[in-house]
Amino acid sequence: MTTLPSTEEVWQALARIPDPEIPVINVVEMGIVRDVRLEGPKAIISMTPTFSGCPALHLIRAQLEETARSLGFAEVEVKTVLSPPWSTDWITPEAKERLRQYGIAPPRPTRERGALIELEAAPTRCPRCGSFNTSVKNTFGPTLCKAIHVCNDCKEPFESFKTV
Ligand SMILES: [Zn+2]
pLDDT tops 60 at residue 8: yes
Residue-wise pLDDT for 112-140, tens only, equals: 544 455 555 567 889 999 999 998 887 66
Instruction: Output the pTM of the full model.
Output: 0.79
Ligand 1 centroid to residue 161 C-alpha, Å: 16
Residue-wise pLDDT for 79-116, tens only, equals: 999 888 888 899 999 999 999 999 999 888 776 544 45
H helices of 34-150, in order, are: 57-70, 93-101
Ligand 1 centroid to residue 114 C-alpha, Å: 29
Ligand 1 centroid to residue 108 C-alpha, Å: 17
Ligand 1 centroid to residue 113 C-alpha, Å: 27
Per-residue confidence (pLDDT) for residue 95, from 0 to 100: 94
Ligand 1 centroid to residue 103 C-alpha, Å: 10
**Residue 43 — very low, low, confident or very high, per pLDDT cuts 50/70/90?**
very high
- State the chain's mean pLDDT as an integer: 86
Q: Where in the chain is the domain with CATH 3.30.300.130?
A: 7-80
Per-residue confidence (pLDDT) for residue 113, from 0 to 100: 43
Burial 63-89 (b: 16+ CB within 10 A, else e): bbbebbeebebeebebeeeeeeebbbe
pLDDT tops 90 at residue 147: no
Superfamily of domain 7-80: Fe-S cluster assembly (FSCA) (3.30.300.130)
pLDDT tops 80 at residue 48: yes
Cα dihedral 41, 70, 49, 162 sign: positive
Ligand 1 centroid to residue 104 C-alpha, Å: 12
Ligand 1 centroid to residue 163 C-alpha, Å: 20
Ligand 1 centroid to residue 121 C-alpha, Å: 18
